[in-house]
Amino acid sequence: MKILPRNALNTIKKGIFLLSLATFLLAFSGAFGQEEHSASTTEHSAPSGEEPSISEVIIEHVMDNHVWHFFNGGTWYLPVIVHTPERGLEIFSSRNFYNEHHALVEYNGYKLEHNTIYLEGKPVRDFSITKNVAMLFLNAALILWVMLAVSRAYRANPGKAPSGLQSFIEPVILFVKDEVVKPNIGPRYERYLPYLLTLFFFILFGNLLGLLPGAANLTGNIAVTVTLAVFTFLITNFSGNSSYWKHIFWTPGVPLPLRVIILPVEIIGVFTKPFSLMIRLFAAITAGHIVMLSLISLTFIFHSYMVGIGSSIFVLFISLIELLVAGIQAYVFTLFTSLYIGLAVEEHHGEEAH
């Protein structure tokens, strides 16, 4: 049965509710599996009766790694790609860094310490497919699959009401286009719309996938947020017109003595704008993951079913909030990027008269 566009909002609400419920159930079971895995991997180094470190479990989730733990007993050993002047390019599995007790061992002269590979005590050039890189490929593949499916639906049913996946994605695209990009950039918005839509869906899908049990913390990785911020910085400043640069280096209507003070402030502002985007996304996503895992860990700290039930209720509400934050952070990053680009391309016609 076809779904009319006016019913798309109800479809989104139902989808969010089902996703939040599934995320909560999977997150609790997934965290339990991760805790069991941590206990098994630290058992060989900790004395008998000593509790495994909860912080190690949390840090393992939010940080990048050369292996990907999905659940207890489910581990994906990722390919290691390193280059040294002496040996050249070498490719092998990260499984070689672990023995049967999952303790780190040396392999062919290479040592893995704190997620850094060393050869003879010196770090090597590491081009490995780490957990976050694999998650990046997964995120990109999912976006391509969704958008190509929507594109095929448009070609197959031209002029007809959207249905299925198309009815879910179309309102989101129109919202970003009409409520975020167009009002902030103005008549030239179409030039930047492909990048901003890609930016929005990349962050949105990355945030939502990161809530699944065992998933990588892609959008909570500082390298990813730095890259997104750099793209925004380059596009904004390369798009800047003469009015934009004039307001930075020679602000009109300001007395000359004050320009000495305003000039460094304006130059610093050019860099602090993308920096704020980077920190906001990184901090919001990483903090949410840490809070959820910390609440779940209370069960294993106190060894109490009552504490487990109480923490599970809190995790339920935090999961719902995290679903909301996933959309908000994608919206905010895209909104401010559109605003910065709009300020860079805006024409100031009243300057000559002033």
Which of the four pLDDT bands, split at 50, 70 and 90, describes residue 349? Answer: low
Segment 252-277 mean pLDDT: 86
> Which segments of 94-192 are extended strands (E)?
110-113, 116-119, 122-123, 125-126
**3-class SS of residue 304:** coil
pLDDT for the residue 13: 45
Q: Please, what's the b/e burial string for 58-71 (b: 16 or more CB within 10 A of its CB; e: otherwise)? A: bebbbbbbbbbbbb
* 73 confidence band (pLDDT: 50, 70, 90): low
DSSP 215: -
How far is it, in rounded angstroms, from Cα 276 to Cα 244? 20
pLDDT at 148: 92
The pLDDT of residue 19? 42
Which residues, at least 6 apart from 305, have a Cβ–Cβ distance to it below 8 Å?
299
| Residue 66 host element (H or E) | none
Inform me whether the pLDDT recorded for 93 exceeds 60. yes
Q: Across the strands, what pairs with 215?
A: none
Out of 2-6, 143-147, 175-179, 288-292, which region has the weakest mean confidence (pLDDT)? 2-6
* Contact call for residues 56 and 62 (beta carbons, < 8 A): no
Q: Which helix (H) or strand (E) holds 79?
A: strand 79-84
Range among 110-114, 189-193, 254-258 rated most confident: 189-193
How high is the mean pLDDT of the chain? 80
202-239 confidence digits (pLDDT tens)? 999 999 998 888 888 899 999 999 999 999 999 999 99
Are 91 and 80 in contact by the 8 Å Cβ rule? The answer is: yes
Residue 337, exposed/middle/buried by CB under 10 A (0-12, 13-18, 19+)?
buried
Does residue 230 or residue 159 have the better pLDDT?
A: 230
Per-residue pLDDT at 273: 93
pLDDT of residue 229: 95
**pLDDT tens, 284-323?**
999 888 888 888 888 878 877 788 788 888 888 888 898 9
Q: Which of 39-43, 151-155, 188-192 has the highest mean pLDDT?
A: 188-192
Higher pLDDT, 297 or 8: 297
- Residue 233's pLDDT is what? 95
CA 69 to chain centre: 18
Lowest mean pLDDT among 47-61, 100-114, 117-131, 263-277: 47-61
Tokens (6 digits) for 3: 């779904």
- Name the H helices within 43-164: 54-62, 131-156
pLDDT at residue number 348: 63
Beta bridge partners of 80: 92
Residue 198 pLDDT: 94
Task: Give residue for tokens 């000039």.
Answer: 263
Q: Indicate whether 27 pLDDT > 80.
A: no
Nearest-CA neighbor of 66 among 15, 128, 123, 155? 128
Domain boundaries, the chain: 79-128, 132-345
- Residue 104 structure tokens: 């780190």
76-90 average pLDDT score? 89
Among 98, 31, 118, which residue's Cα sits nearest to residue 71?
31
Query: What is the pLDDT at residue 312?
Result: 83
pLDDT at res. 324: 92
The pLDDT value recorded for residue 21 is 43
Q: Determine the average pLDDT of the residues in 54-72.
A: 79
CA 327/CA 205 separation, integer angstroms: 9
Query: Whole-prediction pTM value?
Result: 0.79
